[in-house]
Structure formats: structure tokens, C-alpha cells
Structure 1
Amino acid sequence: MSDQELARAAELISGAEALLVCAGAGFGVDSGLPDFRGDEGFWRAYPPYERLGLSFTEAADPIHFAEDPAFAWGFYGHRLQMYRRTVPHRGFELLRSWGAATEHGARVFTSNVDGHFQRAGFEHVAECHGSIHHLQCLEPCTDDVWPADDVSVDVDTDTMRAREPLPSCPNCGGMARPNILMFGDWSWVPQPSEARLGELTAWRRDLRASRLVVVELGAGTAIPSVRRHAELASAGSGALVRINPREPEIRHGRGVSLPMPALEALESIEKLL
């Protein structure tokens, strides 16, 4: 990567009339969140699952809430606690300040379920995989989704199993689960996420000829939801800044590629603005 690429990124952002932030799991690493990339990364974060021989995909299967809820809530209850106590890094504030300086502001599209964009002060966040900070019925008996603000799950970190009582549905009394799209998930309640995605689509449509700049951070190719959204949003202009230390490539040179950790890249751009 050259200083010229950083300068190009700064030029795009300084000339933006609107900013779309597209963030994947890698964006949270600078906050101290674990990197679940591959089984080794997952097992470094959660050694008990290595002893069980379970991958992230297997641990994040919604079937566990029905067959072994103490196991399921051990995994998601621990993540809920971790996301609550982790402070979003400075990169969130830099992005928010860049968006505030544009005519049409900033919007966020993310696959992250940690709620850190909201904690950092972003008002418009489309979470395509839902949020760990909201719950739903496991069945579901209703399409209701409710905040997990008062939920506290006691987890034995040696076994990663949750202790009773476990969260329940206030409507039917059955098991509750996070309102997160899991692997092989047929009971996820999508309406809250779909509503935010609809608002994002309407905002982009209303921009018309405005200079929209897309900043993509920590979005890999294994689950390419975020990368695809960023590429589609920037297809007409090529105003894409892709920040990714492992997979920074941009097809057909349509944008700026920065093979750097997210916070380092954002702070480097800030110095040029």
C-alpha cells in the first residue's frame, strides 16, 4: 500500500456528500473483541469449544436452544456480557464525525450483532443479521422482539454452560433466544432488521446524484453480505474505500484498497483530512 492510496481515500471522504459505513466482524478487533476467523480463532477465544471439537458454525446453531438451552445460552450469554463491557474503539467516533460533516450524514450497514455503532452514537444502523441486544421467542409464538436490557445470564466460563434461570418468552413462557440470524436458522424474526434495511434503501434512493462514499471495514469473503452491499452501493461511482488487512482486493480497481487494520487506517486518513 502506498501513501497515494491513503491520499485517495482522504480525498474521497473529504468530498463526500453522504457516507455509508459497511462493517464486518473484523471492525471490532481493535476494540478487543476476539477474531472468530476459522476454527483456530474461535477456539482461542473459547477454549472449552476446542475441547468439544465444535466450530463457530456448530456452536451458533439455533437447534441448541431447543435441545440443550444451557449450552446455547452459555455461548450467547457470554457474548452478550462481552459486548456490553467492551468499549467501541476511536474509529467509530472518526467515522461518525466524517458523516456529520457531510450534507446527508452517515448510515451504517453491518453484519455485526454487538450494538457498538449505536453505543458510539450512530442513529441509523441497519443490522442485516439482527442484534444480540434484542430477544425473540424460540418457536416463535409471535413476531414480537423485545430489548435484552434487563437480561443477565450467569455463565460458567469453565464449561461455557449457563445456569438457571434462562431467558423466557413473556408471551408464552417458552424459551427465548437472541434475535440473531444464526446458521441454518428458520425461526429468526426478521422484521426489525428488514425495517432498518428498508430505511437505508430509501435514504440511498433519495440521494440521487449526491456523492456517496462507501467505507467498508473488516468484511471478509467467507460470508460476503457486507462486501456485496458495499460493492453494489458504490457500483456507479467507484467511491469505495475497502479497509481489510487480509482481503483488501477490489474488483476491476473500482475503489481504494487499504490492507491495514481498521483503526490504523482510519487514524491515518484522519491526519490527511
Structure 2
Amino acid sequence: MSNRKPLVAILSGAGISTDSGIPDYRGPNGLWRRDPGAEKLVTYDTYMADPDVRRRAWLMRRDSETWHARPNAAHLAVAELERSGVPVRVITQNVDGLHQLAGLPARKVLELHGTARAVVCTKCHARSGMDTALERVAAGEEDPPCRVCGGILKSATVMFGQRLDPEVLAQAMGIAKACDVFFSVGTTLRVQPAASLAGIAAEHGARLVIVNAEPTPYDELAAEVVREPIGTALPALLSALASPGT
């Protein structure tokens, strides 16, 4: 018998971060429900074409709940599982960086939609910290240009109208095919291609566990569907994996 520990993949969506005070996008209290106009602030073509949209986008970034958010029990449980010696890979649809703040090594986190904690130039692709860009906004630059080439800066997130990074997506698909257990946590599994990862994992023999308040299109493929709150359900599920003899 092999003593190899199972490779655990965790696909995390907005629902894992709501306990940290970051609202989801499409839920009852989601960003798009509260401010329908916010969606165009993160639509690439609109952002690039309209300086007023960019100025409003910078104010939205400045006021984001992300900067005050701390990892919650679910993020901490994932990091604890990794520290216990179980091979863990996180594939996240979130841009908040809370998995890394919880202590999970950055190399074990694939950010499908990029990160809100950095900015990138749309012209020369230079990257820098979001904190520096927001300091410039606070100092009076309403739409700070790239300091390298003068190009338009945006957050290092995937906006509407942009493709996912094909290399990151390929790595995510590789993990989905190779893992032994695949947790889908806090995501509706309705946004492709991220949602397809759950199906790929199940097709390749992984045990699929879905932890989400609402039904998803992949529930029938799951070995287990959990509707309990993520902050209590996920730590319990992961603790069982880390225990000897499981």
C-alpha cells in the first residue's frame, strides 16, 4: 500500500471571503446589486476608453473592503491543512489575497482572476503594488499613469472582456486532473471556464465535495454536497483530512 497523501485541490469563490467582510458580486447584498453601475468600472473596453470611468474605478479601489479584511476560519483551515503535510493547491476566483495572508505559500495559490493587490500597465505591462498607486490617488492623482511609460494603469485583475491567463488556467486544469479530492467552496460554479474544473476533477476520478449555500450545476457529480456555513463546514471537513487514518 502506498503512503502517499492525497492531493487536495480547493476551488474557492466569493463565498469563502464573505465572513471576512468582502461582499460577493451577485448575491442579495452583492456589489452589482448595490451599485449596478459598478460593473462598467471593471469592464476593460469601457475602462480604457473613458477617463471618468477610470477616476471612479480608482475611488472604488481606494474604498474597497479588501484592505480591511482579514482571513477567516475557512482561509485559516486551508493553511492549517497545508502545514499538516497534506499536499494542497488552491485555485481561487477571488482577487483579495486572503489565502496568502492566512499563511498559504503563494506558490500554492493559483489566482484565476488575478490580484487586487497589484497594478499593471496596459501598455508596457510593468507591475507594481496597489498600495503605491493608491497613495498617488490620495495625493491628488485621479488617474495615475504608469511611471515607466505613461500608459494606463489598471488593477492586476481580469476585467470583464479580458481572457484569463492561459498559463494559469492550464496549471489549474492540470491540478484538477491530478488531484484526489476536489473541494468547490463558495462558488456558484456558473462562470466558465473556472466552473468546468469541478467537472474535470470528477471525470478524472477525484472525490468532488461542494460547499455552497445554493445549488450548483455540478451537484449531481459530487460525492458530497454541504450547505452549512463555510466558516464552520470547511474547517471540519479539512480537519478530518488532516487526521491520522483518514
User: Structures share a fold, TM > 0.5?
Assistant: yes
| Aligned position for 1:167 | 144
Alignment of 1:98-247 (within 5 A): 98-102=81-85, 105-123=87-105, 124-137=108-121, 140-152=122-134, 164-185=141-162, 193-200=165-172, 212-247=180-215
Shift of 1:194: 4.3
Q: CA RMSD in A?
A: 3.1
Q: Which runs of 5+ in 1 are unaligned?
A: 1-14, 157-161
Higher relative contact order, chain-length normalized (CA < 8 Å, sep 6+): 1
Give the drift of 1:37. Answer: 1.6
**Are 2:59 and 1:74 aligned?**
yes
Identity %: 24
Give distance in 2, aligned partners of 1:41 and 1:196.
27
1:44-83 alignment runs, 5 A limit = 49=35, 54-62=36-44, 63-67=46-50, 68=52, 69-79=54-64, 82-83=65-66
CA distance in 2: counterparts of 1:90 and 1:251, whole angstroms: 24
Cα distance in 2 for partners of 1:175, 1:248 equals 38
Q: 1:256 to 1:132 in 2, by over 3 A?
A: same
Structure 2 runs not aligned, ≥5 long: none
Change (3 A) 1:176 1:17: same
One-letter code aligned to 1:91: A
Runs of 4+ in 1 over 4 A off after TM superposition: 153-156, 193-205, 270-273
- Secondary structure, counterpart of 1:220 in structure 2: coil
Aligned in 2, Cα 1:148/1:226: closer, same or farther, shift over 3 Å? same
SS across alignment from 1:150: helix
For residues 12 and 160 of structure 2, the distance between their equivalents in structure 1, rounded to whole angstroms, comes to: 20
Report the TM-score when normalising by structure 1: 0.72
